[in-house]
A and B are shown apart, each in its own frame.
Chain A
Amino acid sequence: MTRRIERKLRKIGRQGNPDRAFVRTLEAQLRQKVGHPIWWIRWSKFAAVGATALILATSATGVYAYTSDNVLPNHPLYSVRLDIEKVEEALAVTPRARAAVIRQIKKRRTKEHRIMRTRLELRNRRAHMRAKQVKFLEDDQVKLREDRQKTQEQRIHIREETPKDLRGRIERIRGEHSADASDIRGEPIHAAFRVIQATGTIDAASGTEINRDREASHSLDD
């Protein structure tokens, strides 16, 4: 609780702080009396460090801009590359050197165009593939929706079916299946029917049974 009072007292104390200009002026006066301006030696250390950092940063940026393949005409550091090339051209004094520099610059421009073209193609291809994927997914979605709808309709239809309709459907399915079954068993049944006809066991027209014993003895004799 005494902290408020302490803060107020410190605030009062700060009113007694000297003006910065006064402090600096008096310091300069005293340093002059001392005889050597140590202050500039001390501050020059910081200035040297700052200047070195700036030079390193600038040169690193320059090297990157000049050598990197990522620095293309749409890159912010492209202008740095062009400036370095201008300097290079200016430093090439002899015609031979100048020709070599120009050749190098042309090579570099060609490389940049090639890289840009490749990247553009790649980008277009990716875009095309993405579009295809999207279309495929969309079609898939549509098909899925249709199937769902169909299933939904069938379910509704089944729910709404009366028992009579259901019986009719079952008979139809049985009919289909029995036809299928006779086809599958096929030849042996028809062959058996023909044999029975041939032996006279069943009248072919009406399908009624004839006296078997009488017919069987005939067939044996034959």
Chain B
Amino acid sequence: MDLKHFPDFYRVNVQRIHRFIYFRVRGDTDVAEDLTQDVFLKAFAAFESYDPNISSSSWIFTIARNHVINYMQKQHPGTSLDEIENTIWDRIPWDKKMESRHDQKRLMEALRQLPEQDREIVRLKHIEGWTFNEIAEKMGKNAGALRVQSHRALRALRKIMKQK
């Protein structure tokens, strides 16, 4: 794709990429900004070879995910890729890094109690702002089914919070 389209591409994706990285680096703003910058510079370098038939969000999120994994491996050497990928979300100490209110902390605690797939859907959809189509593409599922699953996950979350 022509490089002159890159600034538009940047404006469309910057907020979501930043959020994606932010919630994977324990809420550290400085690190998130550095990694976001690196991701977009990498994307810029590879933009001319980017195939517009592939979804732009998939492409940029792949770059972001790989970059974050590389970073976390550097920070915590010896851990496997799967470990980093799967527990990357759970590592966030909400009460330390983020200035969350008590109810938000309770909510995140309750979120951790959900099954893994439900947790991922809720996180991607409601926190990181992905669309159901993008989540469906990532997970290889139907968008409608994901919508239903998301609704059920939220109900389960509400139930957990009521019990607490």
By a beta-carbon cutoff of 8 Å, the part of chain A in contact with chain B is 1-2, 5-6, 8-13, 15-19, 22-23, 26-27, 30-31, 33-36, 38-39
Contact between A5 and B22, CB atoms less than 8 A apart: no
- Residues of the B chain whose Cβ atoms lie less than 8 Å from the Cβ of A31: 7
CB distance from A194 to the nearest CB of B (A): 128
- The residue among A1, A2, A10 with the most chain B CB atoms within 10 A of its own CB is A2
Q: How many A-B residue pairs lie within 8 Å, measured between CB atoms?
A: 87
Residue of A nearest to B126 (CB): A9
7 contacts between A and B (CB under 8 A): A5-B107, A5-B161, A16-B19, A18-B14, A18-B32, A27-B10, A30-B6
Any A CB within 8 A of the CB of B96: no
What are the 5 A-B residue pairs with the smallest beta carbon separation, nearest first? A16-B19, A9-B126, A16-B22, A18-B18, A2-B154
Contact between B4 and A18, CB atoms less than 8 A apart: no
Residue of B nearest to A28 (CB): B7
CB distance from A170 to the nearest CB of B (A): 100
Contact between B107 and A8, CB atoms less than 8 A apart: yes
Any A CB within 8 A of the CB of B3: yes
Q: Which of B10, B23, B44, B161 contacts A16 (CB 8 A)?
A: B23
Any A CB within 8 A of the CB of B33: yes
Contact between B104 and A8, CB atoms less than 8 A apart: yes
Report the interface size class on chain B.
35 or more
Contact between B129 and A5, CB atoms less than 8 A apart: no
Contact between B19 and A5, CB atoms less than 8 A apart: no
1/0 per residue B82-99: CB within 8 Å of A?
000000000000000010
Residue of B nearest to A38 (CB): B7
Q: How far is the CA of A22 from the CA of B22 in the complex (A)?
A: 14
- Residues of the A chain whose Cβ atoms lie less than 8 Å from the Cβ of B107: 5, 8-9, 12
CB distance from B25 to the nearest CB of A (A): 10
Q: Which of A6, A17, A30 contacts B44 (CB 8 A)?
A: A30
With A18-B18, A30-B10 as contacts: A12 and B154 at CB distance below 8 Å:
no
With A8-B107, A9-B122, A12-B127 as contacts: A17 and B19 at CB distance below 8 Å:
yes
Contact between A36 and B40, CB atoms less than 8 A apart: no
- Residues of the A chain whose Cβ atoms lie less than 8 Å from the Cβ of B122: 9
CB distance from A1 to the nearest CB of B (A): 7
CB distance from B21 to the nearest CB of A (A): 8
Q: A15-B98, A23-B15, A27-B14 are in contact. List 5 more A-B contacts (CB 8 A).
A: A5-B158, A18-B32, A26-B40, A30-B41, A38-B7
Q: Which of B3, B33, B155, B157 contacts A18 (CB 8 A)?
A: B33
- Residues of the B chain whose Cβ atoms lie less than 8 Å from the Cβ of A38: 4, 7
CB distance from B56 to the nearest CB of A (A): 15
Any A CB within 8 A of the CB of B112: no
- Residues of the B chain whose Cβ atoms lie less than 8 Å from the Cβ of A33: 44
With A16-B128, A18-B36 as contacts: A2 and B155 at CB distance below 8 Å:
yes
- Residues of the A chain whose Cβ atoms lie less than 8 Å from the Cβ of B41: 30
